[in-house]
Amino acid sequence: MANVVVVGAQWGDEGKGKLVDWLSERADVIVRFQGGHNAGHTLVIDKEVYKLSLLPSGIVRSGKLSVIGNGVVLDPWHLKEEVSKLAGQGVAISPENLMIAENTPLILPVHSELDHSRESSNAVAKIGTTGRGIGPAYEDKVGRRAIRVSDLADPATLSTRIDRLLAHHDALRRGLGMEPVDRDDLMERLTDIAPFILQFAAPVWNVLAEKRKAGKRILFEGAQGSLLDVDFGTYPFVTSSNVIAGQAATGSGMGPGSIDFVMGIVKAYTTRVGEGPFPTELDDADGQRLGERGHEFGVVTGRKRRCGWFDAALVRQTCSTSGVNGIALTKLDVLDGFETLRICIGYDLDGKRFDYLPFAADQQARCVPVYEDMPGWSESTEGARSWADLPANAIKYIRRVEELIGCPVALVSTSPEREDTILVTDPFSDKQ
C-alpha cells in the first residue's frame, strides 16, 4: 500500500487540514512529523467545524490511529486543552487512537516566556513568531537539554533534566532582565501533567514499522509550509524545524524508503503571515479582495494574512526540495470574477533574470517579480467536483500552473467542504 506525505508548498495556510482529512478517510494511520501548536488546521465535516493545532487531522475520524512523532515539539498543557475541547464536540480521544513518540521534546512555560521576551525586544528585528515557544524548544532539543516525554516517567531523571535546562535558561534570562525560573513550580507542573501525557506514550518508530509490515496505509501530515523551512525557507523569517517532505522520515522514525508519494498543497494565489520577503504581495484592491474572499486570517493567531498573486517560481522551488509528485490546488474559487490573473514566473534582480528566489536577504529584497498575465473567468467554481464543472479559463489557469511549476495537479479543491474536490491522481495508488 502507498504511504503519502502531505506538505505545504508555500508559506503555510494552504488548506492542508481539509486535504489531510479528505485523504485520512482512506488511510489507517495519520502522523504529525514536525512543528508544534503554532500552526492551525480547520476541518469542516458535516457542517461541524473543528480547529486543530497540535493533534493530527485524522483524530476526528473513528477507526484511525493518530500519531505525534518525535519531530514535533509538544506543549503538554495545550494538548490537554485541545483534547478536552474536541471531547466537547463528541470526539473521543484515548491511547487507542492517539500515540505520542516517547522521544518527543516538550515545550515548557520557559520557552514561551523566552519567545515573547525576544520578540518584544527592540534590540533585534522581529521574526514574526507566534510566541508559543516553538523556536526555543527546538533550540533546547539541538542543545541536548530538552525534557522529553519519556523523562516524565521517572522523577529522578526529570529532576536532573530540569537542572540541566535551567543552567542554560537562568543565565539567558538574566541577560534579558528576566526573573529566574521557579524550579519547584516547574517540577510540580510537569509532575501533575505527566500521567495525562504518559498514557499516550509509545515507541512510535516501532509501531509504524509494524503497521507498514501489515500493509497499512500511512499518511504523514506536515504543518506550516516549505517556504518556512529552517534550511530552505526565507531565512531568518522561518520556523525552527524542517518542513519539507524529507522530515517525514526523521520526524517519525521511518526510513525514507517508506514514502511513496509526496503531495504538495498549493493555494491558487499566495499568502503569508508575519514578517519576511513576499515578492508578489499586493497592497492594493486586488490584495484586499483576495484576503476578504479567502477569509485570510490565521487559525491559531487570528492575524491577517498578507496576500498576493501566485508565485510559480517559488512553488517550483519547493516542489523540487520536497520531491513533490503531485500538487493539490486549493481555493481556486477565490479567483472567481477577476478579469485578469497574474502569475509570477521569475524575478528581475538588478537587470538579471532569476527563475528562483536567491537565499541572500539583500538580494531577495531587490527581486522584482516578472509576471505572465492570463484571462480570468466570471463563472463560479465554488463547489465544483469535476473538470466539466470548471470554466474553460479556470482549466487553462490550472494547466499553465502545472507547466510553470513542473509538477502535475493531483487534486483541485473548490471550497472548504471536503466533498468539493476534483480527484485527478490517486496518491494512495501503488501504480503511480
> In this structure, what C-alpha cell is assigned to residue 57?
487531522
Q: How confident is the model at residue 299, as a pLDDT?
A: 58
The three-class DSSP label of residue 380 is coil
For 2-46, how does the pLDDT look when each residue is reduced to its tens digit (9 = 90+)? 899 999 999 988 988 778 878 888 899 999 999 998 777 777 777
Q: Are 305 and 13 in contact (CB under 8 A)?
A: yes
> In this structure, what C-alpha cell is assigned to residue 331?
481555493
For residues 285-303, one letter each, b for 16 or more C-beta atoms within 10 angstroms of the residue's C-beta and e for the rest, the string is ebbebbbebbebebebbee
pTM for the structure as a whole: 0.91
Q: Among the options 13, 21, 115, 311, which is catalytic?
A: 13
For 349-394, how does the pLDDT look when each residue is reduced to its tens digit (9 = 90+)? 999 999 999 999 999 999 999 999 999 999 999 999 999 999 999 9
For 73-97, how does the pLDDT look when each residue is reduced to its tens digit (9 = 90+)? 999 999 999 999 999 999 999 999 9
> Strands 261-267 and 4-8: what pairing?
parallel
**Contacts by 404-408 with C-beta closer than 8 Å and gap 24+?**
404/312, 404/316, 404/343, 404/345, 404/372, 405/266, 405/312, 405/315, 405/316, 405/319, 405/327, 406/316, 406/319, 406/320, 407/264, 407/316, 407/319, 407/324, 407/325, 407/326, 407/327, 408/326, 408/327
Q: Are 56 and 31 in contact (CB under 8 A)?
A: yes
13 is catalytic: yes
The three-class DSSP label of residue 285 is helix
Residue 15 vs residue 231, higher pLDDT:
231
Looking at the predicted structure, is the pLDDT value of residue 128 above 70? no
Q: Are 281 and 288 in contact (CB under 8 A)?
A: no
Q: How far apart are CA 232 and CA 73, in angstroms?
A: 20
Q: Cell 533546547, residue?
A: 140
Q: Are 328 and 266 in contact (CB under 8 A)?
A: yes
Give the mean pLDDT of 263-271. Answer: 97
Packing angle, helices 183-198 and 109-120, rounded to 10: 120
Q: Among the options 21, 28, 37, 41, which is catalytic?
A: 41
